[in-house]
Amino acid sequence: MNPQRRRVLIRAATSAAAAALGLPGVRAGTGRARDIDVHIELHAVPDQVAVHPGAKTRVWRYRGRLLRGETNALDASADSFPGPIIRVRHGQRVRIDLINGLPESTIVHWHGLHVPQDMDGHPRHAIAPGARYVYEFTVVNRAGSYWFHPHPHGRTGKQAYAGLVGLFLVSDEEEAALDLPTGPHDLALVLQDRNFDDDNQFVYLEADGGGAGTQGHGMMGGGMASMMARMMGVLGDEVLVNGRPQASFEVDRRAYRLRLLNASNTRMYKLAWSDGSPLTVIATDGGLLAAPVQRDYVMLAPAERVDLWVDFGRWQAGIELALRSLAFEGGMDMGGMMGSAAALPDGAPFPVLRLRVRDGATIVGATLPRRLSTLPPPAPRTAINAGHPKVFELTMGMMVWGINGEGFDMLGASPLETIKLGTHEVWEFRNEGQAGMMGMAMPHSMHVHGLQFRVIGRSVSSRFARSYETVKAGLVDEGWKDTVLVMPGERVRILLGFADYPGLFLYHCHMLEHEDAGMMRNYLVKA
């Protein structure tokens, strides 16, 4: 199809999407430069940053350059590795040129965005070193905390670990009307765990030789411990927030919005305030909830986001408060298996960040609206298979992850994975722990590209009920999601709508070592 015609089709599709969602129509254009609201050049490059005192850490990172648009569209990251924050408004036309300055091929995926298949960053679109990939799409998503990261075949875990990550924050009029905290009081917090060697360098998988720029490795190289980590997932014993160890922030005595992203490869967080006060959640992956919800703790699996609203005026000046990850069961735990327990196993407690409340008067007027958004309850009856969900078993066979026993197939999609454009379907992820892998069961963080879905049901087998109790109250299923935690022994039902864009899209576990090892498949939307 010629690009001109494709552009016209895409425009038509986005207007239709807007109409279907009851949103103001997206302005049609000709694709000439003047129709682009935001144009960014995004370079993926090797770099060095100071994380710890002493030697700088070799990383790979995104560096952005704003070619067109308001200056706040690109918040170039300071001196650490998490990439720029891209800030756009609903309805804007965006062009992003990815320029691959890495020594291996890569591609960027816009996690959570509803875009045409060629704009989604599928591994089949990976570009060679030195090459450029031009993304152009209209932002049809509602306001929310979306993000971006690499997605090359079999190398996503490695490239993300090396530091490639950035945020893509969308605002809209519905959100603006709420008067939520903005500017310095709207804090994005990217959570990651890392292992460092004695020379301050990231240690990913042993066979990679440690350096971010190291090329090549055998799938089974690096000994037993590395083989297990490659399969089960890499856990770091140091937790970084926005690329900083032992992160701490000073806050004013007023309301804040904290946007948390779990950009860790495999680690899960069970977030809670150190003083035991409940968390107020205002948004999840796909934006605002209908109303704020309170939780004693919130689970955040890899790729999930949650926006918290917190009024630090509640605390006294000078107080230090911490956001912690509490202990839970059922996490990935290699301990006992190989006698090679991670220094900080999944499910072990640790501090995430410290917040010191500054001196000064309480800034009043910090009330949170009781209603945040219009969010219709999910209507499973709209699904063409209501009552007969498509079942996706999360499987492990012959030491290889899969979905329904199948690994990744670059261009393939089975009949089960073929969908009719314009329909809704119910899917059920089943994590019932094969007996095969020594009876082991792990959580999985299941993500579907190109759309936002709703969680409509969960059930857990009695065998896992006890460990499930330690995470259950922290699952926030009320809003739009693109990633959902599926605990051992659990079945999770989701309702998905396949609108606007035919084509081949991914769904996979976002524990990146699982994804790279084959727990990823395509779905094909047919017109």
96 or 366, CB closer to Cu ion?
96
How far is Cα 89 from Cα 458, in angstroms, rounded to an integer? 34
Which residue from 11, 39, 93, 111 is in contact with Cu ion, where contact means CB under 5 A? Answer: 111
What does 303 bind: Cu ion, ligand C2O, none (CB cut-off 5 to 8 Å by kind)?
ligand C2O
460 or 504, CB closer to ligand C2O?
504
Which residue from 254, 449, 458, 491 is in contact with Cu ion, where contact means CB under 5 A? Answer: 449
Only one residue has tokens 């993926």, namely 44
93 or 151, CB closer to ligand C2O?
151
155 or 449, CB closer to Cu ion?
449
Is 444 one of the binding residues for Cu ion (CB under 5 A)? yes
193 or 252, CB closer to Cu ion?
193
> CB of 160: closest distance to ligand C2O in angstroms?
9
11 or 109, CB closer to ligand C2O?
109
φ, ψ of residue 396 to 5 degrees: the values are: -135, 115
Which residue from 58, 87, 111, 430 is in contact with ligand C2O, where contact means CB under 6 A? Answer: 111
112 and 144 in contact (C-beta within 8 Å)? Answer: yes
285 and 316 in contact (C-beta within 8 Å)? Answer: no
- Taking CB atoms, the residue at the shortest distance from Cu ion is 509
Which residue from 508, 509, 517, 518 is in contact with ligand C2O, where contact means CB under 6 A? Answer: 508
Angle at 303 between CA 474 and CA 95, to 5 degrees: 140
Which residue from 505, 514, 517, 522 is in contact with Cu ion, where contact means CB under 5 A? Answer: 514
| CA-closest candidate to residue 474, choices 327, 354, 375 | 327
3-class secondary structure, 55: coil
Tell how many helices (H) and how many strands (E) occur in the chain: 6, 31
481 and 454 in contact (C-beta within 8 Å)? Answer: yes
Query: Secondary structure of 382-432 in the HEC alphabet?
Result: HECCCCCCEEEEEEEECCEEEECCECCCCCCCCHHHEEECCCEEEEEEEEC
346 and 332 in contact (C-beta within 8 Å)? Answer: yes
> CB of 82: closest distance to Cu ion in angstroms?
17
Is 109 one of the binding residues for ligand C2O (CB under 6 A)? yes
Q: Which residues, other chains included, contact 23 with Cβ-Cβ below 8 Å and sequence gap of 6+?
A: 90, 91, 140
Touching ligand C2O, residues 18-37 (CB under 6 A) = none
Only one of the segments 64-72, 334-342, 451-459, 505-513 lies at the binding site for ligand C2O (rule: CB under 6 A); that segment is 505-513
> CB of 461: closest distance to ligand C2O in angstroms?
28
Q: Which residues, other chains included, contact 3 with Cβ-Cβ below 8 Å and sequence gap of 6+?
A: none
Touching ligand C2O, residues 270-309 (CB under 6 A) = 303
What does 149 bind: ligand C2O, Cu ion, none (CB cut-off 5 to 8 Å by kind)?
ligand C2O
> CB of 156: closest distance to ligand C2O in angstroms?
7
492 or 511, CB closer to Cu ion?
511
Is 447 one of the binding residues for ligand C2O (CB under 6 A)? yes
Amino acid at 397: G
What does 496 bind: Cu ion, ligand C2O, none (CB cut-off 5 to 8 Å by kind)?
none
237 and 246 in contact (C-beta within 8 Å)? Answer: no
372 or 403, CB closer to ligand C2O?
403
111 or 424, CB closer to ligand C2O?
111
Angle at 135 between CA 129 and CA 141, to 5 degrees: 135
18 and 140 in contact (C-beta within 8 Å)? Answer: yes
How far is Cα 87 from Cα 16, in angstroms, rounded to an integer? 24
Per-residue mark of binding to Cu ion, 491-510 (x: CB under 5 A): ------------------x-
Read off the DSSP letter of residue 278: P
Is 151 one of the binding residues for ligand C2O (CB under 6 A)? yes
Is 506 one of the binding residues for ligand C2O (CB under 6 A)? yes
> CB of 482: closest distance to ligand C2O in angstroms?
8
Task: Extract long-range pairs of 59-66: CB within 8 Å, 24+ residues apart.
Answer: 59/162, 59/163, 59/202, 59/212, 60/102, 60/159, 60/162, 60/163, 60/164, 60/212, 60/213, 61/163, 61/164, 62/148, 62/164, 62/165, 62/166, 64/40, 64/166, 65/40, 65/41, 66/38, 66/39, 66/40
Which residue from 190, 437, 511, 525 is in contact with Cu ion, where contact means CB under 5 A? Answer: 511
Which residue from 58, 295, 449, 514 is in contact with ligand C2O, where contact means CB under 6 A? Answer: 449
Which residue from 39, 149, 254, 267 is in contact with ligand C2O, where contact means CB under 6 A? Answer: 149
> CB of 332: closest distance to Cu ion in angstroms?
9
> CB of 116: closest distance to Cu ion in angstroms?
14
313 or 331, CB closer to Cu ion?
331
Q: Establish how many alpha carbons lie within 13 A of residue 395's alpha carbon, considering only the half-sphere containing its beta carbon.
A: 13
Q: Is the dihedral of CA 222, 224, 229, 235 positive or negative?
A: negative
> CB of 527: closest distance to Cu ion in angstroms?
22
13 and 501 in contact (C-beta within 8 Å)? Answer: yes
What does 493 bind: Cu ion, ligand C2O, none (CB cut-off 5 to 8 Å by kind)?
none
**The two structure tokens encoding residue 147:** 């993000």
Residues in contact with ligand C2O, total (CB under 6 A)? 10
Q: Establish how many alpha carbons lie within 13 A of residue 125's alpha carbon, considering only the half-sphere containing its beta carbon.
A: 20
Which parts of this chain interact with Cu ion (CB under 5 A)? 111, 444, 449, 509, 511, 514
Which parts of this chain interact with ligand C2O (CB under 6 A)? 109, 111, 149, 151, 303, 447, 449, 506, 508, 510
